[in-house]
Amino acid sequence: MTLKSQGVFFDLGTREIREAELGQNKIDWTNPNHIYWIHLNVGDASLLRKVSSDLNLSANLVEDLFQSDSLPDLNVSEDELTLVTHYWEPPKGEEEPMEPRRLALHLTEHYCLSVARESIPSLERFAATYRQEFRFAQTSGFMLFLVLENLVEDFAKMLHRIDEEAEAVDDRIHGDFFEGLNHQILYLKRRIITLKHHVTSLRDILMKLSGRKIRVVSESCRVSLGDVYHHAEMVVNELESQRELVASSLDAYNAAMAQKMNDTMKVLTVFSAIILPLSLIAGIYGMNFKHMPELDWRYGYAAAVGVMGLFGLSLVLFFKKKGWF
């Protein structure tokens, strides 16, 4: 379910937490201990205008936050940062396409603004746990850290599910093999590549956040984001390993199909080799030339059929001894 628009007030001094009414212009910009989490659902158009006015957001920033087709990116100025990332969950079947879900975050010293249109599990998990996590908070950056950490954890869980599916596919290649398995392998490979693309984009953003000093991101938050970056890097490496495993599975499938085709051709070759001399004998005595001594022979038919049977039985025994069937 899509997270509804909401606001939360945090007091770093007293550790007070309470809900904040959006669009009421009650944000205290003077007290450094007062910070806010503001989440806006893109569908609440009137609320978007009110909150944008209360936060003094520029027109360019509003466009960056609320447009639906922007690529993952990070923009940093002297006292604020804005990032756009994507959440993507691999669908269970080819008939269930799933587009990436856009998440925009805008962080200043006094608030963290999140903007989304669809359901974002990492954001919903933050909304459910911020009361427990706030005891460790020192700046508004704790909200940015928790949302991005949850997002990387979500991608890690998807990696685990894909890993189990890839192992199951590999087992089927060497066990319960069926000819349509290649479609399943190719679809799995496509999901791995797509997931890796989104995790790599998030990893690059985390690398920028943790690799340089940003005024609005405290040193402790930057170090914590560095840990999240290393986790994302590990997920990317594991996805690359999974891609190679699936590629190997596809090679194994093609080799199995080639072997199965060879076995089929071997059987057909055996039958062709058995039928060939029989056809030759039948063809010779089916030419109907006038002077063919065997045509007037009383036992000619029986002799021809006997020779054909002898040839056929001999070839069957020969190929059986060779292990061709």
Q: What is the DSSP letter of 95?
A: T
- Span 53-74, pLDDT tens digits: 788 888 777 777 777 677 888 9
Query: Which pLDDT score, from 0 to 100, does residue 87 have?
Result: 92
265 within a domain of the structure (yes/no): yes
CATH, residue 281:
1.20.58.340
R_g of the chain computed on alpha carbons: 35
Sign of CA dihedral 50, 52, 56, 60: negative
Q: Which residues of 229-267 are buried (b: 16+ CB within 10 A; e: fewer)?
A: bebbbebbebbeebbebbeebbeebeeeeeeeeeeeeee
Question: At which of 238, 256, 274 does a domain end?
Answer: 256
Residues 272 and 209 in one domain: no
Query: Which pLDDT score, from 0 to 100, does residue 25 have?
Result: 61
Query: Which pLDDT score, from 0 to 100, does residue 54 have?
Result: 80
Alpha-carbon gap, residue 49 to 57, rounded angstroms: 10
What is the three-class DSSP state of 174?
helix
Residues 226 and 295 in one domain: no
Residues 40 and 60 in one domain: yes
- Span 147-194, pLDDT tens digits: 999 999 999 999 988 888 888 877 777 766 666 677 878 888 888 898
Q: What is the mean pLDDT of residues 196-209?
A: 93
- Residue 164 exposure: Cα atoms within 13 Å on the Cβ side: 5
Number of residues assigned to the chain: 325
- 73-76 and 80-87 beta bridge pairing: antiparallel
Residues 160 and 218 in one domain: yes
Q: Total domain count for the chain?
A: 2
Residues 265 and 242 in one domain: no
88 within a domain of the structure (yes/no): yes
pLDDT band at 304 (very low <50, low <70, confident <90, very high): confident
Nearest to 246 by CA among 192, 198, 178, 180: 192
pLDDT band at 215 (very low <50, low <70, confident <90, very high): confident
Query: Which pLDDT score, from 0 to 100, does residue 237 have?
Result: 93
Residues 270 and 158 in one domain: no
Q: What is the mean pLDDT of residues 309-320?
A: 79
Alpha-carbon gap, residue 48 to 93, rounded angstroms: 36
272 within a domain of the structure (yes/no): yes
Alpha-carbon gap, residue 29 to 19, rounded angstroms: 17
CATH, residue 21:
3.30.460.20
Nearest to 233 by CA among 195, 206, 194: 206
Range among 4-13, 42-51, 182-191, 250-259 rated most confident: 4-13
Question: At which of 237, 256, 275 does a domain end?
Answer: 256
Q: Which residue has the tokens 């005891």?
A: 135
Rounded to the nearest 10 degrees, the angle between the axes of helix 181-211 and helix 219-284 is 160
Q: Which amino acid is at 166?
A: A
273 within a domain of the structure (yes/no): yes
Nearest to 10 by CA among 112, 79, 103: 112
The helix or strand, by DSSP H or E, that contains position 17, with its residue range, turns out to be strand 17-19
Q: How far is CA 23 from CA 39, 232, 244, in A?
A: 12, 36, 51
Residues 16 and 163 in one domain: yes
Residues 177 and 235 in one domain: yes
Contact indicator for 20, 7 with CB cutoff of 8 Å? yes
How does the average pLDDT of the chain come out, rounded? 83
Residues 99 and 194 in one domain: yes
Q: Is the pLDDT of residue 18 over 80?
A: yes
Question: At which of 199, 222, 256 does a domain end?
Answer: 256
Cut 0.75: pTM above it? yes
Please give the biggest Cα pair distance in the chain.
123
- Span 231-241, pLDDT tens digits: 999 999 999 98
Structure tokens at 228: 């999240």
Q: Which amino acid is at 75?
A: N
Alpha-carbon gap, residue 47 to 5, rounded angstroms: 9
Residues 176 and 277 in one domain: no
Residues 310 and 245 in one domain: no
1 within a domain of the structure (yes/no): no
Query: Which pLDDT score, from 0 to 100, does residue 1 have?
Result: 62
155 within a domain of the structure (yes/no): yes
Residues 19 and 50 in one domain: yes
Query: Which pLDDT score, from 0 to 100, does residue 3 have?
Result: 83
What is the three-class DSSP state of 89?
coil
Name the residue range of residue 315's domain: 257-322
290 within a domain of the structure (yes/no): yes
Q: Is the pLDDT of residue 227 over 80?
A: yes
